[in-house]
């Protein structure tokens, strides 16, 4: 049984894919946002406040994932978002 690479990697990093059409404002405060590049496999944390400032809190994450340029490899294609529950302290 073969899993798509994205899914397997995200699970390993305890990331959950976001649901389709999720808005930035719908993420809970303790959900950190990560971007995952299916081209090079890199995962990076994305500052929610920076996205909010730039695109507005009600932006649909799916829409901006297509616009993000991945700094690690420069691809504009195939970026996906995931969230993780930050340990509460």
> Which one of 34, 36, 70, 81 is in contact with Zn ion (CB under 5 A)?
70
DSSP string, the chain: ----HHHHHHHHTT-EEPPTT-BGGGS-TTEEEEEEETTT--EEEE-HHHHHHHH-TT-BHHHHHTTPPPTTT---SSEEEEEEEPPP-
For position 24 contacting Zn ion by CB under 5 A, the verdict is: no
> How many residues bind to Zn ion according to rule CB under 5 A?
7
The nearest distance, CB 5 to Zn ion, in angstroms, is: 12
**Interacting residue ranges for Zn ion, rule: CB under 5 A:** 37, 39-40, 70, 72-73, 75
């Amino acid at each position: 049984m073969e899993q798509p690479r994205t899914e397997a990697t995200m699970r390993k990093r305890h990331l959950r894919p976001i649901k389709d059409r999720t808005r930035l404002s719908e993420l809970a405060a303790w959900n950190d946002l990560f971007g995952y590049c299916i081209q090079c496999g890199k995962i990076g944390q994305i500052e929610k406040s920076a996205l909010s400032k730039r695109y507005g809190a009600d932006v649909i994450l799916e829409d901006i994932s297509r616009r993000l340029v991945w700094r690690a490899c420069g691809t504009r294609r195939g970026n996906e978002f995931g969230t993780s529950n930050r340990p509460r302290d």
